[in-house]
Amino acid sequence: MAKRMVILGGGESGVGAAILCRKLQYDVFVSDSGAIADRYKNELKQLDIAFEEGNHTSEKILTADEIIKSPGIPEKNEWIKKIRAKNIPVISEIELAYRHRGESRIIAITGSNGKSTTTALTGHICKTGGKDCAVVGNIGYSFARQIALDPKPLYAVEVSSFQLDDIVTFNADIAILLNITEDHLDRYDYKFENYIRSKFNIIKNQTSKDHFIYCADDPVITEYLKTKPLISNPLPFTMLHELPKGAFVNENNMTIRVDDEEFVMSVLDFAIKGKHNQCNTMAAGLAGMTIGIRKEKIREAVETFESLEHRMEKVLKVRGVEFINDSKATNVNSTWYALENMTRPVILILGGVDKGNDYSTLMDLVKEKVKGIVCMGIDNRKIHEAFGREVNVMINTTSAKEAVQAAFRIADKGDVVLLSPACSSFDLFKNYEDRGRQFKKAVKEL
């Protein structure tokens, strides 16, 4: 009898997992408590994969041999509790994909901030260096879908803590951990240590053949590593001092050292700017050198890389006011990086679903650079409490259009209107992409 796989969640990762399960000739069923998007429904129908939407049916779910759950479903969900009570194994889509990767190699990237940029840059370095590499995971195309439809010898995989929570054997030949700051604490019982442990799952299955690239300037990472001996080969990167192996920046020069190879390039030539992007570039450059990409190809890739949509994306200048879409900033630390990069007065658009945010880390930058805050969310109390005394103007809005118009009214020529919300988007928007696109549309309509 065919193995029965039940997939909870009919989004990209769930449908990608369903396609791979169908290819493996499993008995597969997809269940989503909400609506499944038409394009995903059409795929499921074409492949004759059974599904339900708008509810979960007990006898269809609790008869599974194994459950693949969407990263968006928390452990405290009543169905997960029922599944755990029946001892049905629960895995993530990246675990399923990993089991069927064949001989391919994996570079996996995680961190609270910079994951998507680093994953895209790593993929760009690999492709520029002549490697047949797919960029998958949180960044768009699911890992399982890629393996089912177009397997590659190399993958750059963006992985979230939620995906890492449900791995069993998943392992990366090269694991990258960029940073750890308080994020998603609502999913981790408001305990930072639970979230830290989840991020470190990226190296839990590593062996002495594998490499671990991490930020040596991140106190959370370095403290945790004192308690856990590393089995894999460490490749740290830092902005503060020289390292015998790994990567460092000194006086606008980035040095990458792997084995007996050394490579130096000027950060002034990088296509993406900002100190946080120097960290992202060190991580991606180390991964590129570790898999044997030539130095001149890494240089070429770093100089030609185009930054991602919704990540410090310049939209338009309207009557001397510049609009920047940083909708992907779904936590406070991301917004901190965005503000750190600003050299002109800022009207900041903040707000959304608060995940237990501590806004105090933004205070100095807000005092220094922000002249007005436009709140865009259903509940803006915490933002008012944090910054009400620090900025002259605070406006509440409940749509992207309203927020853009309000920001434009209070902006002067030479100012920047920065959408960098520090929150999830699920109160007013489908996701951060929808928020970013609505923002851009509103700017173009000014």
In tens, the pLDDT along 222-240 reads 999 999 889 999 999 999 9
Integer Cα distance of 411 and 127 in angstroms: 42
In this structure, what token pair is assigned to residue 107?
Answer: 């570079």
> What are the beta bridge partners of residue 321?
318
Whether the Cβ atoms of residue 235 and residue 245 lie closer than 8 Å to each other: yes
> What are the beta bridge partners of residue 316?
323
Integer Cα distance of 17 and 212 in angstroms: 27
**What's the pLDDT score for residue 184?**
66
* Residue 409 scores a pLDDT above 80: yes
The single-letter code of the amino acid at 404 is V
Integer Cα distance of 375 and 349 in angstroms: 6
**What's the pLDDT score for residue 7?**
98
- DSSP for 235-282 reads EEEESSS--SSEEEEETTEEEEEETTEEEEEEGGG-SS-SHHHHHHHH
The single-letter code of the amino acid at 353 is V
Whether the Cβ atoms of residue 13 and residue 144 lie closer than 8 Å to each other: yes
Chain-wide mean pLDDT for the chain?
Answer: 93
pTM: predicted TM-score of the whole model, two decimal places? 0.77
- How many other C-beta atoms are found inside a 10 Å radius of the C-beta of residue 138? 21
Whether the Cβ atoms of residue 370 and residue 395 lie closer than 8 Å to each other: no
Instruction: State pLDDT tens for residues 273-313.
Output: 888 889 999 999 999 999 999 999 999 999 998 776 677 88
Residue 67: which of 117, 36, 24, 30 has the closest Cα?
A: 30
Residue 257: which of 269, 242, 267 has the closest Cα?
A: 242
**What's the pLDDT score for residue 320?**
95
Residue 284: which of 259, 310, 254 has the closest Cα?
A: 254
Q: Model confidence at 123, in pLDDT bands (50, 70, 90)?
A: very high
**What's the pLDDT score for residue 308?**
67
* Residue 9 scores a pLDDT above 90: yes
Whether the Cβ atoms of residue 22 and residue 49 lie closer than 8 Å to each other: yes
List the domains of the chain with CATH numbers. Answer: 4-91 (3.40.50.720), 95-304 (3.40.1190.10), 313-444 (3.90.190.20)
Instruction: State pLDDT tens for residues 167-213.
Output: 999 999 999 999 998 766 777 767 788 888 989 999 999 999 999 99
Residue 167: which of 140, 121, 202 has the closest Cα?
A: 202
Helices and strands: H and E segment counts in the chain: 17, 20
Percent of the chain at pLDDT above 70? 99
| Start-end of H helices in 306-431 | 332-340, 363-369, 381-387, 400-410
In this structure, what token pair is assigned to residue 92?
Answer: 């993530």
Integer Cα distance of 209 and 445 in angstroms: 54
| Residue in the block written with tokens 């796989």 | 5
- What are the E-state strand segments in 9-76? 27-32, 50-53, 66-69
Phi, psi angle pair for 229, to nearest 5°: -65, 135
In this structure, what token pair is assigned to residue 276?
Answer: 């946080």
Residue 34: which of 445, 440, 315, 430 has the closest Cα?
A: 430
- What are the E-state strand segments in 339-439? 346-350, 370-376, 393-397, 416-419
Instruction: State pLDDT tens for residues 71-95.
Output: 888 888 999 999 999 999 999 999 9
* Residue 140 scores a pLDDT above 90: no
Q: Which of 50-64, 125-139, 262-276 has the lowest mean pLDDT?
A: 262-276
**What's the pLDDT score for residue 244?**
95
| Start-end of H helices in 291-399 | 295-304, 332-340, 363-369, 381-387
Integer Cα distance of 15 and 12 in angstroms: 5
**What's the pLDDT score for residue 54?**
94
- Name the pairing type of β-strands 66-69 and 90-91: parallel
Q: Which helix (H) or strand (E) holds 139?
A: none
